[in-house]
Amino acid sequence: MRSALKSFVLKMSLNITNLDLTTEGNVRLLPFSDTRNSRFTHLLFLTFISALLYVSTGSAEAATREYWIAAEKVEWNYAPSGKNLIRPEMGLDVWGKALVYEKYRYFQYTDDTYTTKVEQPTWMGILGPQLHAVEGDSVKVHFLNRADKPLSIHVHGLQYDEDNEGADMKGSGGAVKPGSMFTYHWEADSDAAPGPNDPSSIVWIYHSHVDAVTEVYDGLIGTVVVTKKGMERAPDDPRPKDIDKAFTTLFLIFNENDRKIVESGQSEAYESPEEAEEGNLKHAINGLIFGNLQGLEVQQHDRVRWYLIGLGTEVDMHTAHWHGQTVLNAGKRTDVVELLPGTMVTVDMIAKTPGNWLYHCHVADHITAGMNTRWRVVPKH
């Protein structure tokens, strides 16, 4: 970086030796022969620019964020409590007749030995690891496919070449065979960073894209948060510094029809093919139904950021709704945010009123089917 900085300063010096700062207001280009009188001014100006560059690049040096992620086959329970935690008297209805299914997930490991998993907060549910980058950073993801079919990681928003697209059956990262590895290189450049109407960080999804439809329903979905340059907490902590807490919620109806129900999780048999078809549609937030998504808890007065994701098919028109608090969505005040499949929205709130509040999709059919949970504001004493 030092030598790069030097050459940058050097280039700047070459460019500005012909500038005359003695001109009123505007900078004027001078022919070489006319530079003698203003040499001292140039020297001062150069010193000033060099100092400025040193200070600014010192605090916002671009980094390479490195992650180790494996895809693995798991069993997933859509309601581990076995209960409807929002309306206990109503039970889980047809959606509770089968709860545990064979799924796939992305897991983050601490290093290239892939032995120690990075713990995730409870509220993340089925989501894969959340990756972070600051505008200008590079992201390196070492992907190990520990599952039983070819998989990939396709990221939205960040820059990549065809090898690193992780999709479309092309390039070396398009389909990573079971037992194989591939390292994805992405750039979180200014086109991946928050725009003029965005808050200080925004969310992007990544997902497997060999057979994208199947693999999203498999559970192979995670997020990348890109923070605006200068808004990161520290050089080694790329999360935004102007918030206290952040949550990410995925609104997706997992279609489990034609998928393997794990025998041990089956409580009752479906009574008809129609009932089975509905019961296998899990109207989930982060892969959990009827209040089984836990841990969305903040302190009163916390500045809270919500990264919202919509995925799925034509029935997946979701409207995320908070009780107890409004949010700012691109400068507009609301308490309902609409999500269509493949959309990503970042909204902010300051949690004002203590309570154990509903957080749910506002689509009537989805409320009935369990797309709801609670978020809690703990009073500050």
DSSP state of 331: T
The structure tokens 């897991």 sit at: 107
- In angstroms, give the least distance from the CB of 150 to Cu ion: 31
CA 175, CA 294: separation in Å to the nearest integer? 34
Alpha-helix runs per DSSP H in the chain: 2-16, 39-59, 212-218, 273-279, 364-368
SS3 assignment, position 164: helix
The phi, psi pair for 357, rounded to 5°, reads -95, 150
Which of left, alpha, beta for 217 (phi over 0: left; psi -120 to 50: alpha)?
alpha
Choice between 158 and 216, CB closer to Cu ion: 216
- In angstroms, give the least distance from the CB of 92 to Cu ion: 17
- In angstroms, give the least distance from the CB of 379 to Cu ion: 30
* Strand intervals (E) in 81-136: 100-109, 130-134
CA 134, CA 235: separation in Å to the nearest integer? 9
Half-sphere exposure of 316 (CA within 13 A, CB side): 22
Choice between 243 and 361, CB closer to Cu ion: 361
Choice between 96 and 341, CB closer to Cu ion: 341
Choice between 65 and 366, CB closer to Cu ion: 366
- In angstroms, give the least distance from the CB of 281 to Cu ion: 11
Amino acid 251 reads F
* Max Cα distance, the chain (Å): 95
Residue number closest to Cu ion, CB atom = 361
- In angstroms, give the least distance from the CB of 198 to Cu ion: 24
Residues near Cu ion (CB under 5 A)? 318, 361, 363, 366
- In angstroms, give the least distance from the CB of 318 to Cu ion: 3
Choice between 103 and 318, CB closer to Cu ion: 318
- Please list the residues that pair with 267 across neighbouring strands: none
Choice between 100 and 363, CB closer to Cu ion: 363
